[in-house]
Structure 1
């Protein structure tokens, strides 16, 4: 497996710091989910006007861009122009950096629409995105997230999305915490479509000021309660050799450990799983 860090974990770092720590810690790549004050990297000059310079700096550090993580939600009804425009910008950045995967969300409001209708909206949005010139050159990966976290629910949306163009981003912490699935249950259900994986650890502490809605507080890998070691073991058993991304959500949860500590700790934790 190849290891990538998500820039969610180091929202205050500049590119030099990201690349320096990434290289020294032993990462293979970077998943750009925002850069400093800009969550949409397609609107930052480092990834547009200065893309050649940024790519050269990545190559010099021995790192690649594992994926681009968008904010696109497929299953929202109504005008799709903003989502399609974001997808078009992402395709341009992906082409500049030889990126082969772009993350999307399912999203949608189950209080306002049935799951079947949301899945239909998702299929319609995805087909509109796939009509963009160059969209066929990347894989669009649907994260196990929000209304589409449980494997059965995720599969319901996948049934509306073309398998030739869309895979699954397995956020293992989500399926464990929110869907109550063991890692092997998720892999048995979605393994043929999983081609990118997020991992993070957490402890149950609902009184903590920075707890998630379900009462968990993210932790340095190996210091939490989630079966992340089982995730790695199950992936190896299936012969998975893709990207394993440490998604340290410092941007959303400021009380988490500083990236200087957490990012190297993940690599050390992963090496201990061998």
Structure 2
């Protein structure tokens, strides 16, 4: 299993420093938070795009995905998917994360299906997959798969955020069964409880990570999304990286 870091856990940290931390701590990739307040967004110049690619390649770190804030179930969202595809292509990312962001109405599925079908057409031939994260209006595997089954295109898949499917009341086995035909990669994290979702070091909270990771294929990717950006009082991530890597390695080690 290959391991990536989300830059959400390292807010205000320069990209070269993130690349160095990932490499020194034994991770193989990064998920780049893609937002105007960060160093990664569609308005980057070609020169800056090349520089970012060079920075990560020099450290031996893959750019796994762009974690964007497109909301495909929101009819008012105006995110330009082609611009994100261009950025992902220039940076060498294999995935683009999108949110549902619906309003919990009857039309959410239809909006998401329509927009994802259009995004799939735009992604054809790029080698980039657009992944719908289990989140907000479609936080369960069942709800996410319900949309993706209707889209029916290999250019669109699922990003399994294990916190949100758990908060949605699914067991890991139920979530995996729904998401397996569509799965791109998995975001892992840990928290104290459903009421306190402040990020914790992996293995110190209540999320059923062992059960979530057990059915995954050994050649897949896990991304540790430590949401320091939203919880500034959480412990700094750099000091937790090696222990987090070791914990995930134990959970994904082949049975003997």
The residue number in structure 2 matching 1:207 is: none
Quote the RMSD (CA, aligned, Å): 2.1
Which of 228, 246, 249 aligns to 1:268? It is 246
| Separation (CA, whole Å) in 1 of partners of 2:14 and 2:39 | 14
Which residue in 2 is equivalent to 1:169? Answer: 159
1:258 aligns with 2:241: no
Counterpart in 2 of 1:139? Answer: 129
SS at match of 1:27: coil
CA shift for structure 1 position 39: 7.5
Aligned mate of 2:185, from 196, 199, 222: 196
Structure 1 position 233 matched with structure 2 position 214: yes
Give unmatched runs, 5+ long, in structure 2: none
Provide the residue aligned with 2:13 in structure 1: 13
Q: TM-score, normalised by structure 1?
A: 0.84
Paired residue for 1:58? 56
1:69-218 alignment, distance < 5 Å: 69-78=67-76, 82-83=78-79, 85=80, 87-110=81-104, 113-114=105-106, 117-132=107-122, 137-176=127-166, 178-204=167-193, 214-218=195-199
Moved more, 21-30 or 261-270: 261-270
Report deviation, 1:258.
0.2
Matches within 5 A, 1:23-38: 23-34=23-34, 37-38=37-38
State the secondary structure of the residue aligned to 2:163. Answer: helix
- Runs of 4+ deviating beyond 4 Å: 133-136
Q: Kindly indicate whether the alpha-carbon contact (under 8 Å) linking 2:35 and 2:69 is maintained by their aligned counterparts in 1.
A: no
Match of 1:208 in 2: none
User: Is the contact made by 1:9 and 1:251 (CA closer than 8 Å) also made in structure 2?
Assistant: yes
5+ residue gaps, structure 1 = 205-211
Equivalent-residue separation in structure 2 for 1:40 and 1:106 (angstroms): 21
**Shift of residue 163 of structure 1?**
2.8
Q: Tell me the equivalent position of 1:209.
A: none
After TM superposition, give the deviation of residue 172 of structure 1 in Å.
1.0
Shift of 1:5: 0.3
8 Å Cα contact 2:123/2:155 also seen in 1: no
- What is the aligned residue count? 252
Contact 2:34 2:69 in 1 (8 A): no
Deviation of 1:128 (Å): 3.1
Mean Cα displacement is larger for which, 248-257 or 224-233? 224-233
What is the TM-score normalised by the length of structure 2?
0.90
Shift of 1:161: 1.7
- Deviation string, structure 1 residues 91-144 (Cα, Å, up to 9, x no partner): 11111122221111112112xx31xx2111112222333443767531111111
Conservation of the 8 A alpha-carbon contact between 2:120 and 2:153? no
